[in-house]
Chains A and B, each alone.
Chain A
Amino acid sequence: MNNSQQSLMEEFRTGGVDRRMFIRRAVALGISLSSIEAFMAACTTGSIGGGGNSGSILWSNWANTGEIQRFKDFTAEYNKTNNTNVQYTFVPTANNNYFSKILTELNGGNAPDVFYVGDGDIGKLVANQTVIQLDTLLSSSKSKEKASDFSPGLWGAAKTVSGKIFGVPVDCNPLLLWYNEKVLQDAGITTMPATLAGQGQWTRDAFQQMIEKIKATGKYGYVLDSWALVFYGWVTTNGGKVYDKNGYGNFIAHEDPKALDAFTWLATQVRQKTMIYAGSLPKGQGNDLALISGQTGFISVGRWDLPEFKTAGIKYDCVPFPSFSGKIEPAPVALAYMVINKKTKLQDQSFNFLTNYVSPAGQQFRLQGGGNAVPSIQAVTAEKVVTDGNDPAHAQYLLEARNIGYGLFPAEGNAPGLSTDIQTALDPVWLQGSDVKTALAKIAAMAEPRIQKGLQARSSTSPSFSPVVALEKIATQWCTTSIISALRMPYLVRPVLPL
């Protein structure tokens, strides 16, 4: 680029010439159209990048009252210890409609620099390329941890088939069976499930005997949560498969004999009322409350209910899902990922925050003293927050379940809304006793095109042209300019017409 071209660029950058004049003079000076386009795009997007300005980074997640203080403390500590010119600010958001807010902000170019995404939503951000790829950064010297420090099953839809990583699990919540010891004792159960698990005898038959005894006392043996991930837990611990190709392929539960057996067994238990489907409980009454109030012997949840169980003052413990082998088998893990907004102006500083946040020290800081999750990273120092104090007595199972567990299957995570639709499609099985195989076959037929579409969206390297998206953009721009013009209207319309 010669001097005249450089001075023109500088003039435009500093506002000396307007956009139209810049294009005219640039063409006259022989600057290629692609260079003009790139330069102008850089100038335009520079103002709308991430949520923070050049000296600040905004990070956001969903948080309840208990967690907000923890995140504020972490941010304050980070600002203090890193002592950089960048100010990190935590923006708490309600869990309800969190992803709608993030999507709106991403569309408006106003999203936080670093933020949480749920395991069922990350696939969408990977597909529309609004978050940055992290695998190279994770393997660089800038990172405090490597991708291999995390259990391989925890990546879910944050990792593509080709191994590209777009989000890092912040912590995790392996699903275990939690039980109310008093309910079990009242039913005449003397050997607790955790003891059986320690002896390698924690099988589905042993579990069934227990829930039948509990049912005989007029209570529910187990509350089957209305959550697809819980159903899958019963399938995989029975040795079955839900999706082929390591979770990236099609839904195959209707063809897999062990998966079919697990679903049929669950349906039978619900029919015999040894289990109750949570979808038939009154609205707002979750399985946690059923356990606390002694209405059920078992529920399947993560560590998130531990503070609630402590407050309620019940005697509780946890145990892995019963399995065909009597030993611990892979079960689901509920996850959230931390991602970096592609439009952030401070990528290095954003990554530095992320890598500290998910590091052993970061996770320990956030989860110690009553935390409600399990570290996603395999590090003894961080894991102590789970086992210290022996609460629950067999807390070690949380770590074991994490080590062999799996996040939401990528095939499902990449297809927006599929998880909820599967859950709804199975409602007739639990509520009306519909045929299991037929319901699963219908799910397979419904899921296949959506899974393929999800895979295609992620495999494309550049955003493809979509007329709908283009029209949407035009409409949005038109609406914006019209409203702004109306607001700036310098005159008043005063109709002077007869009655």
Chain B
Amino acid sequence: MKNYLKILPLIFASLLLAACGTTGGTKGGAAVENLGQQGKGAQASGAQGQGGYQGNPLNNPTSLLSKRSIYFDFNSSDVRSQYYALISAHGAYLAAHPNVKVVLEGNTDERGTREYNLGLGERRAEAVRKLLLAQGASPDQLKTISFGKERPYASGHDESAWRLNRRVDIVYNGQLTVTPPISSDNGQGTGQGSGQGGGSQGAGQSPYPGGGSGQGMGQ
């Protein structure tokens, strides 16, 4: 519980920021690669007259809820502050929709040992879980899974790929939707890689069946 108390002020601060009209969800227009558009992704649960939503806000590209990915620094499971608003939005949505369940999938970049990375992915998923709980989601709505380094989104071997693979995805209805880093995230603090910009390799391609073009994944 102590942990939650520590982060609560941050969450309120980020909620304020969110209220002040962040456009994080719309930057780059087609930045969202939404697998949920392919048929069964859109579950009706959000549309049942809750708080005046029009349709399912999960699929509204202007909603923060359409952002599903939280990115991390190397070897860290600390959630960066720019993701608090995103997590708060999902936490509030889950609190308002107690029948909705999500899986938090933790991933790492390829560096380090395979099995330690399973642990690291697990800690990342857990960090997001705690924040969602603090926002009112209930434990039985949240499940964490770690894939460690087993499911890289980008296949390169430098920071341009690594930064996209250090990630927790919030997965609704079994539909993995990898969204790009929030743009204020410039990968600061990683300090490990060979720099950014180069590796176009893989960064724009989805490894997942049915994955979209992933456009907008670059810087």
- The judgment on whether A and B are partners is no
